Amino acid sequence: MANSVMIVQGVEVKVTARDGEDYINLTDMLRAKDGDFFISDWLRNRNTLEYIGIWEEMNNPNFNYGEFATIKNQSGLNRFKISVKEFVAQTNAISLQAKAGRYGGTYAHKDIALEFAMWISPEFKLYLIKEFQRLKQQEANESKLEWSVKHILSKANYRIHTDAIKDHIIPALLNTKQHTFVYSSEADILNQALFGQTAKQWKDRNPNLKGNMRDHATVEQLTVLAALESQNALLIEQGYSQEERLAMLNRLAIQQMSSLLQTRAIEELKEKPLLIEE
């Protein structure tokens, strides 16, 4: 969930992701509170600061406890007021953040946002929890659908790959009984290049798991597998032996997996829906 919107008691509330964690827009939530209030009114409260301080202690090794103690000690004074930007700058907090642009506003980690929702009203907090749970369930369902579509894509590429084997290897070499052996062997070239083991080796090592090795692959592995299958079909057409192809495909698998894991390209692939509802 990169950027999403949920409707809580008629109020649009944006949700964004940061370092794999969900942050909810407090600026949006504030519109549900009766009266003329600001986020700084909530932040100056001593109970709020104590809660944030405990959360930061549990989740942020770089939190500036000295500056935080100074801020908390001032929280009982009538003249005390601090903005989110000031608080983050002084304490190096990660529970709050201010964003500019289309999805701009003040965001808080979901743990903190729920406390902010309680400050608005107990009713609003309960509706926020319900809507957030619905959003996460929808996200989980979309993730399953995207994995399924990627798996179908992988199988489609495998059809291209097996067609190349049939056209360039089987007619000249094999009888009908040997066809299965060649297909299995070619599939295991891809398995060996990407997973470091054959399908039988994986099954022997995981006797209690249902399905095959590819059914338990990650999105990253399926993405690379699709590329390997297409590349292997091309290498077969070019006349490379199995031994040569295994070496080349293994290098390609290492290169592509390293690239996917070191960049955000795969995150964009996961977050962008493959099917768009009209």
Q: What is the amino acid identity at position 29?
A: M
Distance CA 186, CA 245 (A): 10
Amino acid 65: pLDDT: 94
Contact in structure between 192 and 246 (CB atoms under 8 Å): yes
What is the pLDDT, as a whole number, of residue 167? 55
Within 13 Å of residue 227, how many CA atoms lie on the same side as its CB?
A: 18
- List the pLDDT tens digit at each of the 278 positions of the chain: 468 889 999 999 999 988 889 999 999 999 998 877 899 999 999 999 999 999 999 999 999 999 999 999 998 788 899 999 999 999 999 999 988 777 789 999 999 999 999 999 999 999 999 999 988 887 776 666 566 656 655 665 655 556 665 555 433 443 454 334 454 577 888 888 888 888 888 899 998 888 888 888 877 788 888 888 888 888 888 888 888 888 888 888 888 877 766 654 445 555 555 444 44
Residue 7: what pLDDT?
Answer: 92
What is residue 278's predicted lDDT score, i.e. its pLDDT? 40
Q: Give the per-residue pLDDT at 252.
A: 87
Per-residue confidence (pLDDT) for residue 145, from 0 to 100: 57
pLDDT of residue 70: 94
**Residue 219's closest CA among 144, 165, 134, 127?**
144
Provide the whole-model pTM.
0.53
pLDDT of residue 240: 85
pLDDT of amino acid 210: 83
Q: What is the pLDDT of residue 170?
A: 37
Residue 161 CA: distances (Å) to CA of 5, 73, 149, 158, 189: 42, 68, 18, 5, 12
pLDDT recorded at residue 256: 80
- Where are the chain's structural domains? 3-120, 141-271
SS3 16: strand
